Chain A
Amino acid sequence: MSDLAIETQSMHKHYGTLHAVKGLDLHVPAGSIYGFMGRNGAGKTTTIRLLAGLVRATSGQVRVLGLDPQVDRVAMLGRAGFVIDKMLLPSMTGEDMVRFNRGFFPRWSDALAAKYAEVLEIPMKQKFRSLSTGSQTKLCLLLALAQGAELLILDEPTAGLDPVVTDQLLRVLVDDFANEGRTLLLSSHHLSEVERVADWIGIIDGGRLLLEAPLDDVRSGFRRVRLIGENLPFGSRSEIFRTNTREGTTEYVLRGNAEGFLGELRSQGATVLDVASMNLSEVFLEVVGKGETHVPVEILA
């Protein structure tokens, strides 16, 4: 438990007839940068709201820094920073927001706030409502960073930002926050950004966690193989994630022990045409694009 900054067990959330989160088992190691990925409406924001204690789980257990967000909400929020809606108080300027926020957090750092205001080029004298989307997001992030949190949870932090601002934000998050051994969870559907910074990933779709693993294991664990042969297995083996046959060629997406499986096929007379590794984007599309397929999370973890 102590090695996990966030842990959920069989977490469900219903909104009336909508089953937004379906038995989510999330494990975010302490000190990791965890990319929480999913399509729009996959359940990312609901999950983050559950972690923040803004929303009550219908059933299941939630622990953030070892604390229950419903029972120990104040203690948990004192140690964890959240950026969810990227909406602060519209009539306040950046300076007002710093003044407002300072009183809530004993470990608040004015020096850090001033530093990020300068580094991220945030117009601190401008009212929040009149800031650009990028500056609004940066101000949200500034407040979260300056509060001295052990854990930072960001919902789509780069949504709507141009590449320069996105680069600035990711640099700050990785260099200044995560490199100090603190935990960062960021949700996104921008795979390249997640791939750039994360060391763990979780893929959610339809409220279910389909995959959770260290990023390196994901990169090395999935293979796309094309081969020719007769009486090939179709989906009966745990290594086979997907099979597709076209014009006499069979294409497998394999996970886990691909080499062992290919060795067996070769011994049965199959001819392997090519074996390609898969990047995060391809894995994501395989996992999420075939919504009915469930990848047991323990396979790669």
Chain B
Amino acid sequence: MYLWKYWRESRILFGVSLLVIGGLFVAVLRERFETNGIPAEPSVNQIAALWMVFLNLQIFPLCFVAWMFGSFGIGRDMGEHSGSFIFSRPRKRAQFMWQDWSFGLLQVLMIDICLNLVIWLQFHRALGAGSIALGHQDIGVPVSQFCGMTCIAAILLTALVFSLTYFSTIVLKSARGVFLSAGVLLGYIVLGMVIRHYWPGLELPSLLLQIFSFSHHTPTIGGHLGLQIAIRTMIVLLFPIAAQFMLERADI
């Protein structure tokens, strides 16, 4: 029943996000492919252009959607003074929280995956069989792997944004936690810029998983990728764990 409540509240955002983002990317990619044309063996510049379209461009709408989804759930309910009603139902507080978080994340992931599927289909349509590699055939990255990896990068980033926002709504006991979350993300980016300016040797970890590195003008999958993914997954999980900790000790 509780999942039904969450679905009922978030389904419009879910449907609209799927349609708008999917439609938008089909249009952008078609325009890109049809205007520029992609040769069978693209150059590094073309790969870089693809990269921009394929990953960097998708993270903005996806992060926005993840940010919006983060505002649903217990934090919003408490802000609307429904907390005493919800928490006087015979369930553990942690149960409400984990159901919120899991179901919200599931919806965000579905949007991520659908979007990347749409993009992969567009690539497949433009480039032909999935065996075509970006770069030199012997050391390049096959298109399907390229798509899969960028999908993982997008998922990790949107999961981070969603979890941080969800946690922020619990901290503030209000949907206004979205502003706290936006502030934290923006602050992190600004801090990174400041550090880069004053201490060029130092660099904060990127919010986006760096999957590929370019060697000899050819994209290759970066080292320790499994470890990077594991660490980022653990960071994502820290937020609901912290939210549970706070919620179980909070006065409602």
Residues of A within 8 A of B (CB): 15, 49, 52-56, 73-78, 82, 84-85, 87-92, 96, 99-105, 140
Compute how far the CA of A126 lies from the CA of B2 in the bound complex, rounded to whole angstroms.
Answer: 20
Residues of A within 8 A of B34 (CB): none
7 additional contacts (CB under 8 A) given A87-B84, A100-B2, A104-B91: A49-B251, A54-B251, A77-B88, A82-B84, A89-B80, A101-B89, A104-B90
Minimum distance in angstroms from A117 CB to a CB of chain B: 18
Across the interface, which residues of B come within 8 angstroms of A100, CB to CB?
1-2, 4-5
B191 at the binding interface (Cβ < 8 Å)? no
Which residues does B use to contact A, with CB under 8 Å?
1-2, 4-5, 8-9, 77, 80-85, 87-92, 249, 251-252
Q: Evaluate whether A54 and B90 lie within 8 angstroms (CB atoms) in the complex, with A91-B9, A99-B1, A103-B1 already known.
A: no
What total count of A-B pairs have CB within 8 Å?
75
* Contact (A54, B85) CB under 8 Å given A100-B1, A102-B1: no
The answer to whether A84 and B84 touch across the interface, beta carbons within 8 angstroms, is yes
Among A53, A54, A78, A103, residue most surrounded by chain B Cβ atoms (within 10 Å):
A54
Chain A residues within an 8 Å CB radius of B87: 52-54
Q: Contacts A78-B90, A104-B89 given: A54-B1 contact, CB under 8 Å?
A: no
Contact B249 A56 (CB under 8 A): yes
The answer to whether residues A88 and B92 also contact, given A49-B252, A54-B252, A100-B5 and a CB cut-off of 8 A, is: no
Residue pair B90, A89 in contact (C-beta under 8 Å)? no
**Distance A100 CA – B88 CA, assembled complex (angstroms):** 13
Q: Is B80 a contact of A90 with CB atoms below 8 Å?
A: yes
Output the least CB separation between B54 and chain A (Å).
Answer: 37
Q: How far is the CB of A36 from chain B (nearest CB, A)?
A: 17
Collect the chain B residues with CB atoms within 8 Å of residue A84's CB: 84-85, 88
Complex: A49 Cα to B251 Cα, angstroms: 9
Partner of A89, one of B85, B92, B251: B85
Check A74–B92 contact: CB distance below 8 A: yes
Q: When the two chains form their complex, are residues B90 and A85 in contact, meaning their CB atoms are under 8 A apart?
A: no
Specify which chain A residues have a CB less than 8 angstroms from the CB of B8 in the assembled complex.
91-92, 96
**Shortest distance in angstroms between A50's beta carbon and chain B's nearest beta carbon?**
10
Closest to A78 in B: B90
Q: How far is the CA of A88 from the CA of B90 in the complex (A)?
A: 15
Contact partners of B4 in chain A: CB under 8 A: 99-100
A77 to B9, CA, bound (A): 25
A227 to B16 Cα, complex, angstroms: 81
The CA-CA distance from A53 to B84 in the complex, in Å, is 10
Complex interface: chain A residues within 8 A of B91 (CB): 74, 104
Contact of A54 among B5, B77, B88, B92 (CB under 8 A): B88
Contacts of A82 in B (CB 8 A): 84, 88
Please judge, given known A-B contacts A49-B252, A99-B1, A104-B1, whether A77 and B81 are in contact too, CB under 8 Å.
Answer: no
Q: A74-B91, A104-B90 are in contact. Are A87 and B249 (CB under 8 A)?
A: no
A91 to B9, CA, bound (A): 8
Some 27 contacts from A to B, beta carbons below 8 A apart, are A49-B84, A54-B83, A54-B88, A54-B252, A55-B251, A56-B249, A56-B251, A74-B91, A74-B92, A77-B89, A77-B90, A78-B90, A82-B84, A84-B85, A85-B81, A85-B85, A87-B81, A88-B85, A89-B80, A89-B82, A90-B82, A91-B8, A92-B8, A99-B4, A101-B1, A103-B1, A103-B2
